[in-house]
Amino acid sequence: MATRPASQALLLTDADAGMMTAVVSAAADIALVIDSQGVIREVSLGEEAVQDLAETHLWVGRRWSDTVTVESRPKVLALIAGTQGEDTEFAGPGVTRQVNHPIGGGLDLPVAYRVVPLRSGGRILALGRNLRTLAVVQQRLVDAQQSMERDYIRLRHAEARYRLLFEAVEEALVVVDAATLNVVEHNAAAARMVGDTARRMVSRPAPDLFELESQPVVQALFSQTRNAGRGEAHGLRLAGGAEVRLVGSLFKQDGVTLLLLRLVPANAVQARGQGGPSLLDVVNAMPDAFVLSDMLGRVLSANQAFVDMLQLPAGEPVIGQMLDRWLGRSTVDLNVLIGNLRQHGVLRLFPTTLRAGDGQTTAVEISAVAVVDGPQPCLGFTIRDVTRRLPAEGRSQRLMPRSTEQLTGLVGRLPLRDIVGETTDLIERLCIEAALELTRDNRASAAEMLGLSRQSLYVKLRRFGIHDPAGGAAE
């Protein structure tokens, strides 16, 4: 018998044909009539499942267990046995089981079946629901969750770098909520300068950090900073008695307006202390490259790590050069960087490339900030080499095939047999990886697609170190 769409009647002796057509259309995507020997006698498809189940006409006359994958066969046999009373506890009538049907392209089609025994001839009716859409949605959900996890890890790393720099700065910094004027955050230098009152600085009103005589000036400074974006006041005294110069800057983060206060001692040389590291020393010792430029991208200063990354010839200057000479795939990258910094004041984890003096290109990640309230407006860039970082997306990067020049360069150094063997191994590995990607790591389907036995595929997987067969995905 041939497959027929749901608009045509099922040839069932103990049910009205029109009723069965309505059942298939409303309750299932596919209906199978199976005899007492487990052989499919008729197939009926719902209108929405015709495309995915177009090959089901080939199932007629075959055993139901032969149309599913190896791991699904016990489920099919249990469903059939349940309707015959042999294993009612495991798979009786009304119990739904998900099985996979192999389809073209080495893929599997998941279908959830429920079986119903018929009254004549020991036949059963298997009603199935196509789960392809659900499987696609679940895979997208998993991919989205993994992407969120990667973003969260990157955010934690950026926060750790910010915390390290914030605490390492010798200058006393205090972050204040512009609406409530309460202290949100402060670094260790600010706690040392304020003294004993620093024990409970967070959530305290910022004016309380100063003496009563200085508090009106501090309030005026806060109002000026909120309106103009920057303010400065001299001759203020902290509650502990130290005289300071207060510099305020306005910035926004996650929709909240904040004030950054810099507490500069009246005698900056004495306040620096003896034997402590300066900010310049910390920046120069950083393993990541740091560059200070003007608002157009012209280099004003750079640490040794940036010079090392450029690998410039001896005597070639860095100061005074435009950053787009080395930074970015084109001038567009630097224009995007500077445009975002002017608009938002800060930029995190911007991916781009760095071109060294010898022409070598390196993948880098940039975090930058714009400082517009100083004597000279400037931009600060932290540049991190990410070429040695593990790939963030999916499986490890594939080996790329050698170029013709590289292969011909082996002539004279290796026998022809070795050159051909190396090329063959490379092509074999690429084909296996492509098959595993197409089948979502289903090794049984990948072996069938490549024309290999599963044992041969496992041997090649171990040989190339692609996957551990014991820890791979279920087939």
- Closest CA relative to residue 121, chosen from 62, 34, 44: 34
The arithmetic mean of pLDDT across residues 408-427, rounded, is: 69
Alpha carbons 314 and 291: distance in angstroms, whole number: 19
Residue by residue, DSSP assigns 336-385 as HHHHHHHHHSEEEEEEEEEE-TTS-EEEEEEEEEEE-SSSS-EEEEEEEE
With 60 as the cut, is the pLDDT of residue 297 above it? Answer: yes
Q: Does the pLDDT value for residue 288 go beyond 50?
A: yes
User: Which pLDDT value is given to residue 65?
Assistant: 86
Tokens of residue 155, six digits = 């955010």
Rounded to 5°, angle at Cα 61 from 60 and 65: 90
Binned at pLDDT 50, 70 and 90, residue 396 comes out as very low
Q: Compute φ and ψ for 80, nearest 5 degrees.
A: -65, -45
Higher pLDDT among residues 196 and 371, named by residue: 371
Confidence of residue 400 (pLDDT cuts 50, 70, 90): very low
What is the pTM for the complete model shown? 0.34
Compute the C-alpha angle 310/315/319, nearest 5°: 65
CA 68, CA 433: separation in Å to the nearest integer? Answer: 25
Cross-strand pairs, 262 = 173, 247
Indicate the range of 77-91, 107-121, 327-341 predicted with least confidence: 77-91
Lowest average pLDDT, out of 82-91, 98-107, 159-168, 208-217, goes to 82-91
pLDDT digits (tens, 9 = 90+) for 42-58: 887 776 665 666 666 77
pLDDT band at 409 (very low <50, low <70, confident <90, very high): low
Q: How far apart are CA 446 and CA 172, in angstroms?
A: 62
What pLDDT shows up at residue 154?
87
pLDDT for position 470 = 46
Supply the pLDDT for residue 299. 86
What pLDDT does 249 receive? Answer: 86
Q: How confident is the model over 292-321, as a mean pLDDT?
A: 81
422 vs 402: CA distance, rounded Å:
10
Query: Mean pLDDT across the stretch 163-170?
Result: 78
Instruction: Report the range of poorest mean pLDDT among 149-153, 301-305, 418-422.
Output: 418-422
Going by C-alpha positions, the residue among 264, 325, 316 that lies closest to residue 298 is: 325
Among candidate residues 367, 392, 295, the one with its CA nearest the CA of residue 335: 295
Which H/E stretch holds residue 254? none
Give the Cα separation of 466 and 472 in Å (integer).
Answer: 10
List, in order, residues 6 or more apart from 474 with CB less than 8 Å away.
71, 442
pLDDT attached to residue 196: 58
Which pair of tokens denotes residue 390?
């593990």
pLDDT at 86 over 60: no
The pLDDT, as a whole number, for residue 105 is: 66
Cα separation of 118 and 139, whole Å?
Answer: 37
**Selection from 11-25, 26-40, 75-89, 268-282 with the highest mean pLDDT:** 26-40
Average pLDDT (441-448) is 84
Higher pLDDT, 5 or 243: 243
Average pLDDT, the chain: 76
The pLDDT of residue 272: 45
Q: What is the pLDDT of residue 401?
A: 45
Q: How far is CA 47 from CA 8, 101, 127, 185, in A?
A: 11, 19, 14, 62
- What percent of the chain has a predicted confidence (pLDDT) above 70? 75
More confident residue, 170 or 401: 170
| Nearest Cα residue to 100 out of 116, 83, 112, 89 | 112
* Residues with Cβ within 8 Å of residue 459, at least 6 apart in sequence: none
pLDDT at 120: 64
At residue 90, the pLDDT reads 39
